[in-house]
Structure 1
Amino acid sequence: MSTPAPARDAFAALVLHRRPQRARVGLTLGFVRTFAVPEIAEVLDRTGRLASAPKARAKATGAMMFALVGHGVDSPDGQRIVAELAAVHRLPGVDAELMRYVLACFTVCPVEFADGTPAEREAAAAFAADLAAALHLPPLPGPGLAETAAWMREFETARFAPSEAGRRLWHTVAPLFAARLPRRLARHAPAFAAALLDAPLRAAFALPRPPLPLRAAARLAFHLTR
């Protein structure tokens, strides 16, 4: 059974209305986290779709997730998107644990970056449970988002590793952060985006640690958006 609409609506209100730009940055960061898992990076790199049209693929990913959040997993649009996501699950090299991790990233990262309230976090966890069930995946750790986030970090400790595919994907996607920056800073998007990455991601992508002023400026620049 899917989450009741009032609970789901709290998550939808955050990512679609209250702080949509921050949520989109968070979703992009969640997408980037998956590149640090070599098995996921190899699948994404092998298809070539992200490299050939990074902006279109990133936009399509965001549109799918936010349509699911807005309309619900059981809606006609939601069922269509679930079928598309299930097709990804059938790609060679993609197993249930990898799919669970991607789902965790796409739920936890937007909420964390948008500074979701306890009610919004609870609704996000309920949404993730609905989507996992619709995709016939094992349930994510719960009952709250904190447990899912903790499992996500444990997964990363075990599975993050450098890979050529992951580095290529990062350098393909980094310029897309320009759309979320003030115009005068847009040309510095890769540097500002790298400043948002934590140490495990920087290690996977072989990136140096940005200086503290740049890290502080990046957080401020992206958090000034609604």
Structure 2
Amino acid sequence: MTAHRDAYARLVLAAMPEEARLGLTLGFVRTFGVPEIATVLHATGRMTGAPGARAKATGAAMFTLIGEGPDSAAGRPVVAALRAVHDRPGITPELMHYVLACFTVCPLRFVDRHGRRPATRPERDAAYAFHRELAAALGLPEPPGRDLPGTEAWMAGFERARFGPSAEGRALWAATLGLLTARLPGLPEPLAARIAAALLDGPLRGALGVRRPPLAVRALTAVALRRRSRRRGGADRD
């Protein structure tokens, strides 16, 4: 680890790894709301054909980069693979910046809402430092926004302009629904689809054609996730 990234790495890898993993999954799902991204992801066939394998590979790549750094011996092959995968027509620097923003912002949001404590200022600063480091390693221009709040503001504006319904986005959501609910142990299985929908906000539900679950389901999900985090957490290891 390096000094500018280690607080974020400790949060993701040691303090609240399950929350971070769910947040990363939701960050990936969030990209389905952008038709251009959904079209590219759907065309590969990997998400609809083997969503578990794709999600595992994505999670392993991100955890390696967060823990070791993009310029480490372990990180450089991951960066090279990411550059190769995304070097195709239709993937612009703006879309890549949005994907990276989702992978940075969404885990922190999940920790804040469902973890045993919110992310600290040093953790947020370290997350943004990692965001910039990875963008540079991927050969992207300077990220939009000068800090994490600026990135979130840019991300919100991008979503207002680019979120929209698509058959590909709906198919990707259907393919990953089981994967998401499998990461929510302890919640009633008959309510799995509604519980997963409770983790999506209004704009994303609209883009993916997902109905808003009843208030009781949303409340049950929030309470269950918070209790699980506190039971698993014990003493904070930061």
Q: TM-score, normalised by structure 2?
A: 0.89
> Which residue pairs with 2:19 in the alignment?
22
1:163 to 148, 163, 166: 166
SS of 1:182's equivalent in the other structure is: coil
Contact 1:125–1:143 (8 Å) recurs in 2: no
Give the Cα–Cα distance (whole angstroms) in 1 for the partners of residues 122 and 40 of structure 2: 35
CA shift for structure 1 position 204: 0.5
CA gap 1:124/1:157 in 2 versus in 1, 3 angstroms: same
Contact 1:40–1:98 (8 Å) recurs in 2: yes
> Which residue pairs with 1:140 in the alignment?
143
The unaligned stretches of length 5 or more in structure 1 are none
Per-residue deviation, residues 25-63 of structure 1 (Å, max 9, x unmatched): 111110011000001000110110111111111111111
Give the Cα–Cα distance (whole angstroms) in 1 for the partners of residues 138 and 172 of structure 2: 26
CA RMSD of aligned residues (A): 1.4
Per-residue deviation, residues 97-123 of structure 1 (Å, max 9, x unmatched): 101100000011111211211110100
2:204 to 198, 201, 206: 201
Contact 1:129–1:139 (8 Å) recurs in 2: yes
Contact 2:187–2:224 (8 Å) recurs in 1: no
1:62 to 59, 62, 74: 59
CA shift for structure 1 position 184: 5.2
Give the Cα–Cα distance (whole angstroms) in 2 for the partners of residues 190 and 22 of structure 1: 19
> Which residue pairs with 1:185 in the alignment?
188
Contact 1:36–1:205 (8 Å) recurs in 2: yes
Give the Cα–Cα distance (whole angstroms) in 1 for the partners of residues 103 and 109 of structure 2: 11
- Counterpart check, 1:151 vs 2:154: yes
2:87 to 83, 87, 90: 90
Q: TM-score, normalised by structure 1?
A: 0.94
Per-residue deviation, residues 104-144 of structure 1 (Å, max 9, x unmatched): 00011111211211110100000000011111112223432
Per-residue deviation, residues 182-209 of structure 1 (Å, max 9, x unmatched): 3453453322110111110111111121
Contact 2:187–2:221 (8 Å) recurs in 1: no
Give the Cα–Cα distance (whole angstroms) in 2 for the partners of residues 19 and 171 of structure 1: 27
CA shift for structure 1 position 90: 0.9
> Which residue pairs with 1:122 in the alignment?
125
> Which residue pairs with 2:236 in the alignment?
none
Give the Cα–Cα distance (whole angstroms) in 1 for the partners of residues 89 and 19 of structure 2: 33
- Counterpart check, 1:73 vs 2:70: yes
> Which residue pairs with 1:213 in the alignment?
216
The unaligned stretches of length 5 or more in structure 2 are 113-118, 234-238
Q: Percent identity?
A: 57
Contact 2:145–2:154 (8 Å) recurs in 1: no
SS of 2:3's equivalent in the other structure is: helix
